[in-house]
Structure 1
Amino acid sequence: MLTLFRRHASRGLAALAFATLAFPAFAQVKELKVSAIPDEAPTELQRKFAPLGKYLEKELGMPVSFVPVTDYAGVVEALAARRIDLAWLGGFTFVQAKLRTGGTAIPLVQRAEDEKFTSRFITADPAIKTLADLKGKTFAFGSASSTSGHLMPRYFLQQAGLNPEKDFKTVAFSGAHDATVAFVASGRADAGVLNASVWDKLVESGKVDTNKVRVFTTTPAYFDYNWTVRGDLDATIAKKLREAFLKLDPANPEHKEIMALQRASRFVPTKAENYLSIEQAAQAAGLLR
């Protein structure tokens, strides 16, 4: 709290009231609390965050902890309620956070890859070669709030003249990108869609049999993930966070593991305006109220 010494009681009380209103969180941050949309298994999210958390502790000079959530809405609500300070959000989740916080949530940085992100449509059915072949098939999105696992694929399906609820036999939501692959591989869905980064990681790690499950088309590019802070976070801390991310360099041995786990070549500054097209797509799809 700010301590104000009063020369006159009324003036001091007014000053204290103003300071409390204008700077509610500055001196309260003794530990940076970080979360992320659960677009992968919880154990994988923890593994990805561990070296990044240690790096941020060193750069900020304060403890940093990871706060897991059970669903995408949980991250948005935690940010709005100031239970977390920094969040890894998808483009659509950022739009939701911006609206939920009255436009105060601040996107700091995104990976260079997120400036031109894509989603992959996958199947194990040899008869499916194009989006048109999805008619009458069972289909799996990721989370309903996922940019790359639902919103943007749905938007591009609509652009191709397909209405999932009318044209597909059934529509399911797996909850996460890796779960979507499992749906398709096991036959629970004829086809599905997930983000390109997770697909590539699963292929590289041998966790998907590409002789069985294959990509049959890829979406056009769009803006996606970013690191966002709550709007009333101390501006000095926000500045240090942005600088810490921008300093990360895969050529630096100390940063190599962090960047590999984040699947980033580098981080670049971002801004809310980058996500206007995602907000428009969400409105067009009827996903924003």
Structure 2
Amino acid sequence: MNYRSLRRLALGGLCALALGLPFSALAAENVLRVSAIPDEAPTELQRKFVPLGQYLEQQTGMKVSFVPVSDYAAVVESLATGKLDLAWLGGFTFIQAKRRTQGTAIPIAQRAEDAKFTSRFITASEGIKSFADLKGKTFVFGSPSSTSGHLMPRYFLGREGINADKDFKNLAFSGAHDATVAFVAAGRADAGVLNASVWDKLVEQGKVDTAKVRVFATTPPYFDYNWTVRGDLDPALVKKLTEAFLKLDPANPAHKEIMALQRASKFIPTKKENYEGIEQAAQAAGLLK
């Protein structure tokens, strides 16, 4: 590093200190840090994000960096502590983020499909044809913090007279939707539940043998996924990001791949109030402290 580079670095550090910012904030100020709950395999999350990340770079003029995380809780914590700027959350993780940030996290957009999302109950057992047949069987949810792989299915199981903590012979968590299918297909669980979008994608891609693993029930619809920003993000940037999502159009050849990978017909505005039902279900299930 030459003298001029060292001088610029030192001056940058002094500016950051004068503004009351950590020096690292100066280096990261033109990078949009984005992540997503790990509801599918890490390689699949990366594949889905690449064209969207490139699009967001064009729309914001910022470098976009995808930050992989180990689990759902890490996304919530990273958003709350300013390590992430934008995150793809499920309905339940949004509620957790809202609470963790004292209500400052802002949901800006959701797919049209997320206003009427569902979960699919699956099995490879001939003896399971209804919810009543689940009693005494082994069952697998996705992640404990998953809206569509745990919270809402648990809530709807309760409405069908099934107590998830008492009525199953054994209860497990696979960690992700695609892993739940693998659990059931391998006979590691008699039945399980995952979100309808991932199930449909796996079927389309030929990654599940529907002659062996089948859907035996579907939940009523509920609000689910959204893109959420941290509350102290520059309002001008929040506006740019919101507009960027709302402009996406599958009829536009430049957007077609993005929309296909996101499994979205279009993005629509969303708001915190849409997730009040999720919060009530979480409280009823005893999943919120």
Q: TM-score, normalised by structure 1?
A: 0.91
Find the aligned partners of 1:209 and 1:27 in 2 and give their Cα distance: 48
Q: Give the C-alpha shift of residue 20 in structure 1.
A: 6.3
Distance 1:152 1:26, change over 3 A: farther
CA offsets 1:30-57 (integer angstroms, 9 cap, x no match) = 1000000000000000000000000000
Greater alpha carbon shift after TM alignment, 27-36 vs 154-163:
27-36
Q: CA deviation at 1:66?
A: 0.1
* 1:208–1:244 CA distance, 2 compared to 1 (3 A): same
Q: Distance in 2 between matches of 1:96 and 1:121?
A: 25
* 2:283 aligned counterpart, secondary structure: helix
Alignment correspondent of 2:279: 279
**1:195 is matched with which residue?**
195
Give the CA deviation at 1:161. 1.1
Equivalent residue letter for 1:42: P
Quote the Cα distance in structure 2 between the aligned partners of 1:52 and 1:128. Answer: 40
| AA of the residue aligned to 1:261 | L
Q: Kindly report which structure 2 residues correspond to 1:20-169, keeping only aligned pairs within 5 A, or say none.
A: 29-169=29-169
Q: Alignment partner of 1:166: what SS?
A: coil
Percent identical across equivalent pairs? 78
Give the 3-state SS of the residue equivalent to 2:39 in structure 1.
coil
> What is the RMSD computed on CA atoms of the aligned residues?
1.4
2:217 is paired with a residue of what secondary structure?
strand
> For 1:140 and 1:181, how far apart are their aligned partners in 2?
9
Correspondence for 1:217: 217
**1:26, 1:234 within 8 Å by CA — same for their partners in 2?**
no
1:85 and 1:27 map into 2 onto residues whose CA distance is 15
How far off its partner does 1:78 sit? 0.3
- State the AA in 1 paired with 2:59: E
Count of aligned pairs: 268
Structure 2 partner of 1:15: none
Amino acid across the alignment from 2:238:
A
How far apart are the structure 2 equivalents of 1:101 and 1:27? 24
Q: Provide the rounded CA distance (Å) in 2 between the counterparts of 1:98 and 1:154.
A: 22
| Contact 1:178 1:198 survives alignment (8 Å) | yes
SS of residue in 1 equivalent to 2:172:
strand
Q: 1:167, 1:251 → 2: CA distance?
A: 48
Displacement, 1:26?
Answer: 11
Instruction: Name which of structure 1's ranges 159-168 and 278-287 shifts more when overlaid on structure 2.
Output: 159-168
Partner Cα separation in structure 2 for residue 28 and residue 127 of structure 1: 56
For structure 1, list consecutive stretches of 5 or more residues without a partner in the other structure. Answer: 1-18
Task: Give distance in 2, aligned partners of 1:27 and 1:269.
Answer: 31
Cα deviation, residue 271, structure 1 = 0.2
SS of corresponding position for 2:148: helix
Q: Which runs of 5+ in 2 are unaligned?
A: 1-18
Q: Counterparts of 1:272 and 1:222 in 2: how far apart (Å)?
A: 14
Tell me the alpha carbon deviations over residues 243-270 of structure 1, each in whole angstroms, 9 at most, x when there is no partner: 0000000000000000000000000000
Where has structure 1 moved over 4 Å in runs of 4 or more? 25-28
Q: CA deviation at 1:29?
A: 2.7
Could you state the TM-score of these two structures normalised by the residue count of structure 2?
0.91
Q: CA deviation at 1:233?
A: 0.2
Q: Distance in 2 between matches of 1:276 and 1:164?
A: 23
